[in-house]
Structure 1
Amino acid sequence: MEDQGIKGKRLLFFPLPLQGHITPILQLANILHLKGFSITIILADNFSTTFDNIRANYPHFTFHTIYDGLSEDDKAKTDIDALFLLSLFNQRCVPHFTEALRELVLEDSNIVCLLSDSILHFTKAVADRFKLPRLVLRTGGVCSLLVFAAIPLLINKAYSPLQGMESVQEEAVEELPPYRVKDLPLFKTCNVDALYQVIEGMIRETKASSGLILNSFEQLEQFSMSKLRGDFPIPIFPIGPFHSHFPASSSSLMSQDQTSISWLDTKPPKSVIYISFGSVAAIEVNDFLEIAWGLANSNHPFLWVVRPGLICGSEWIELLPSEFLETVDGRGHIVKWAPQQQVLAHPAVGAFWTHNGWNSTLESICEGVPMICMPCFGDQMVNARYVSHVWKVGVQLENGLKRTNIENAIRTLMEDEEGKQIKERMLELKEKANLCLKTGGSSYESLRSLTSYISSF
């Protein structure tokens, strides 16, 4: 239902065009479109991806494509250093984004604000040139945002965050409970200065923005929300979980294998382990084989997403031994990509083995599916710590990917008393996620405030 004062007003969205970032910004655009706003999405092309699926799935949006400013040489250099690519993107895209904004603002006097990914910190200065308010979307959790904001403090305390400190992995970070050194965000990069510049720019320009929109809800990150409001002197709108505001819609950049659902239909309730490590992570061959045998030895049915490019030096699953395939025949189903929201909502799914990207973590909570945590990089470490030790709705694989560890984690979650308690806590968290979106709930009220705030521009 459209709110008064919204009709005819247009919002510009500018996502970082990677799967984990484009999904929540399209969901946010959908939420605000349902409130009556017109939507234009600015897409940075040539960023090693295509947007055909998105254009087809969102015919109610207008799309405007710009060049990202990155050359083939730039992308070749960043194949092994994605963080350096983000630094370059924040520099090279400026003139192309500026020209796009000039063109769009001239064409349509009803444009009221820009909503951009927080990582794209360069957009603040460009929006200011056109006197356009800029709201920021944080695509991850509040808990990890506070860790990123604390990076200067951690450096001053002689930590070496984001790069790993092998000798002190288990030590507590006293300045940031409940984290240990191993829970701090980890990025593999050859250019630490560029990484810090991206993070510093993200925090600085978020604090200078017209407002911060969060894909989270008060009852999930209550303590972190309170601290955030003290540290970030701007309007803050936690309106998540985004995907629960409307029926499932696909923002996948990859083709989804629908046999996942028909296969799940043949399995008993809560019996299947669903495994997916997201759209970016890569694992070594030895780890891949340990995962395979851990799943085989658990004797539980499993649906396993093996994304092309997931295994270093391998096309797909050609390295799986025939003995493994014979052992799991009928019990295991392997696909290249799955419709994750549908999978997690399926009654046959009893556990989610995840990399703990924020989107995946929220989707699992909303469906009440306990997690096996295997964070790979970035904020996933922070998210996994919250899942396993704060919310206590999952178990974390912490001592390497050995098949016995994997089998034990699966049995803990699927068979043991500890697993039953984890499931009970997860169902309580699911109920909180449901209630926050109902009339009078925290996210419901926050969305009302957001739409009113944007309408006032």
Structure 2
Amino acid sequence: MEDFVTKKTTTPHVVIFPLPIQGPVNCMLKLAHLILSLSRATVSVTFLTTTSIHNRLVRHSNAAARLVHSYPNFRFETVSDGLVEHDDGDAQGALKLVESTIALERQAQEEGSKLRAVLGHGSAEPELMTPVTCVLADGFYGCMVDVAKELRVPLVYIETISPCGLWTYLCVPNMVRARDLPFQDDEEGLDASITSVPGMETYLRRRDLPSFCHAYDPNNPVIQLVLKEAQEFPKAQGHILNTFDELEGDYFAHIRALCPNLYNIGPLHLNLKSRIQQETTKSISNSLWQEDRSCLAWLDAQPPKSVLFVSIGSLASMTKDQLMEIWHGLINSKSRFLWVRRPGSIINKDEDTSQDDLEMIPDDLVEGTKKRGCIVSWAPQEEVLAHGAIGGFLTHCGWNSTLESIVEGVPMICWPFYVDQQVNSRVVSEVWKIGLDMNKDNCTRVVVEELIKELMETRRDEFSKRADKMAKLAAQAVAEDGSSYNSLNHLIDDIVSMRFSI
């Protein structure tokens, strides 16, 4: 291996390349902020994303303008993913993500493409080109190992899913060899144990595997991306994990056996708050949707720990029937609730069902919502979960949402959809024991009501005590000399000194 510093300029220049969706973009913008601040602006950062994502950031977020204004050595670069531009997403979000990822990978491998020029020089414009000293790319871009090698640029992957979910992904080839995959996706067989994922033998079931495993097809584009990620994982110069040792240290030994250079810097949003003065970050939004901040005033009027926050994130969708079952369960539980219903999140819904058009909704749901509920199209989630009125979170269990809930000590009802969410849900309920796992296919009003009452009433103190303990561990990890504090320092030092090798 040649030392990278002998091949490049002495000015560090990082390109950050997220998947074009809310979670990774939010996470990596926070990382960009930390790199710029902690390196005292000695590192130049180019944030590379799609035109549609950038347009939405400009429309709905103040992070883009704030970073550009605060750091002259920060800039955005955009490329098209070849898909039809859209504003607020729709129920086909997961499919579009796969299509977008494949399109971007194709461009990255194409000689002379704008994307490839940005990865190697930070821009396709000759007057703006400067050598890139490191690419920080989402781990789902499996092609980046070969692209970075051809460009002679070190690659560090940012894993925006959970390490427990990541470890499951990396074990897919092992599961196939052990004949844990494929399996028949029938209800009786879904509770069978999966024994070919080291460290998870005692609790992982078929139903806890990512959804693409339930109809395993080696030719499925998602499976192809996952298999590519598993193959290329050991070849990167390092991996950044948005977690902390005290939460997921059990998985690190397995992952380090594949790539020893891990940077465990999470919870990333808490690291940002603790390392940079709170007043400079509290009003920064990385949202791709317009946030309705009126919900915070509504929360101010509610008793402590009395409100269940409900949100299925930026990609998941539900059917009309699921919508009504969730709604009936919420009303029947008699719990107060704040419900985020993202535009386009209801499959085959003819018209938006917001608080302004409840005429077609049963009277009991209308009256119950007026008495105890608040429905918004998008919310400032970190602020909501930090609010004293929140007592629980009904979540899709995406990794950002899970970490944000852990940081604030909020117990969860997990209703997972895909990616790492099924694994996260199982670990939340069976390993960390800070929430309840709801079978996605068993979303009836009776089940929803029972789980809400269990979380918010009968086992409230039990869950709160464990969640509070986890929140304290997260705070300790990002405090001075904590595990994530030190790991972040290590990452910044390696970026500044360009210690990576190629």
- SS where residue 405 of structure 1 aligns? helix
Per the alignment, do residues 409 and 183 of structure 1 end up closer, same or farther by CA in structure 2, a change over 3 Å counting? same
Tell me, yes or no, if the aligned pair for 1:307 and 1:336 is still in contact at 8 Å: yes
| Counterpart position of 1:146 | 167
| Counterpart position of 2:405 | 364
Amino acid at match of 2:256: R
| Counterpart position of 1:3 | none
Gaps of 5+ in 2: 1-8, 274-280
| Counterpart position of 1:65 | 78
| Counterpart position of 2:278 | none
Aligned pair 1:179/2:204, yes or no?
yes
Amino acid at match of 1:383: N
Per the alignment, do residues 164 and 7 of structure 1 end up closer, same or farther by CA in structure 2, a change over 3 Å counting? farther
Q: With CA pairs under 8 Å and 6+ residues apart, which has the higher RCO, 1 or 2?
A: 2
1:91-240 to structure 2, matched below 5 A, reads 91-95=106-110, 96=113, 97-104=115-122, 107-109=128-130, 111-160=132-181, 164-176=185-197, 177=201, 178-187=203-212, 192-193=218-219, 194-230=221-257, 232-240=258-266
1:234-249 to structure 2, matched below 5 A, reads 234-245=260-271, 246=273, 247-248=281-282, 249=284
| Counterpart position of 2:302 | 267
For residues 127 and 454 of structure 1, the distance between their equivalents in structure 2, rounded to whole angstroms, comes to 16
Aligned pair 1:316/2:352, yes or no?
yes
For residues 162 and 284 of structure 1, the distance between their equivalents in structure 2, rounded to whole angstroms, comes to 26
- SS where residue 410 of structure 1 aligns? helix
Per the alignment, do residues 421 and 190 of structure 1 end up closer, same or farther by CA in structure 2, a change over 3 Å counting? closer
Amino acid at match of 2:122: L
1:283-302 to structure 2, matched below 5 A, reads 283-302=318-337
Considering only aligned residues, what root-mean-square deviation do their CA atoms show, in Å?
A: 2.6
Aligned pair 1:347/2:347, yes or no?
no
* Deviations 1:60-111 (CA, angstroms, capped at 9, x unpaired): 3300112224578xx99x8783465133442245333213334537645463
| TM-score scaled by length of structure 2 | 0.83
Aligned pair 1:81/2:81, yes or no?
no
Per the alignment, do residues 334 and 57 of structure 1 end up closer, same or farther by CA in structure 2, a change over 3 Å counting? farther
| Counterpart position of 1:55 | 64
- SS where residue 263 of structure 2 aligns? strand
Amino acid at match of 1:99: A
Tell me, yes or no, if the aligned pair for 1:81 and 1:190 is still in contact at 8 Å: no
| Counterpart position of 1:412 | 454
Moved over 6 A (4+): 188-191
- SS where residue 122 of structure 2 aligns? helix
**Deviation at residue 14 of structure 1 after TM alignment:** 0.8
Per the alignment, do residues 46 and 93 of structure 1 end up closer, same or farther by CA in structure 2, a change over 3 Å counting? farther
Per the alignment, do residues 273 and 294 of structure 1 end up closer, same or farther by CA in structure 2, a change over 3 Å counting? same
| Counterpart position of 1:90 | 105
**Deviation at residue 149 of structure 1 after TM alignment:** 0.7
Per the alignment, do residues 434 and 112 of structure 1 end up closer, same or farther by CA in structure 2, a change over 3 Å counting? same
Per the alignment, do residues 34 and 387 of structure 1 end up closer, same or farther by CA in structure 2, a change over 3 Å counting? same
For residues 376 and 338 of structure 2, the distance between their equivalents in structure 1, rounded to whole angstroms, comes to 8
**Deviation at residue 299 of structure 1 after TM alignment:** 0.9
**Deviation at residue 57 of structure 1 after TM alignment:** 4.5
Tell me, yes or no, if the aligned pair for 1:263 and 1:333 is still in contact at 8 Å: yes
Q: When the two structures are aligned, how many residues end up with a matched partner?
A: 447
| TM-score scaled by length of structure 1 | 0.91
For residues 110 and 324 of structure 1, the distance between their equivalents in structure 2, rounded to whole angstroms, comes to 59
Per the alignment, do residues 364 and 79 of structure 1 end up closer, same or farther by CA in structure 2, a change over 3 Å counting? closer
**Deviation at residue 172 of structure 1 after TM alignment:** 1.3
For residues 216 and 174 of structure 2, the distance between their equivalents in structure 1, rounded to whole angstroms, comes to 22
For residues 31 and 393 of structure 1, the distance between their equivalents in structure 2, rounded to whole angstroms, comes to 29
For residues 271 and 337 of structure 1, the distance between their equivalents in structure 2, rounded to whole angstroms, comes to 20
Tell me, yes or no, if the aligned pair for 1:302 and 1:332 is still in contact at 8 Å: yes
Gaps of 5+ in 1: 1-5
**Deviation at residue 189 of structure 1 after TM alignment:** 8.1
- SS where residue 99 of structure 1 aligns? helix
Tell me, yes or no, if the aligned pair for 1:84 and 1:189 is still in contact at 8 Å: no
Amino acid at match of 1:297: N
Amino acid at match of 1:221: E
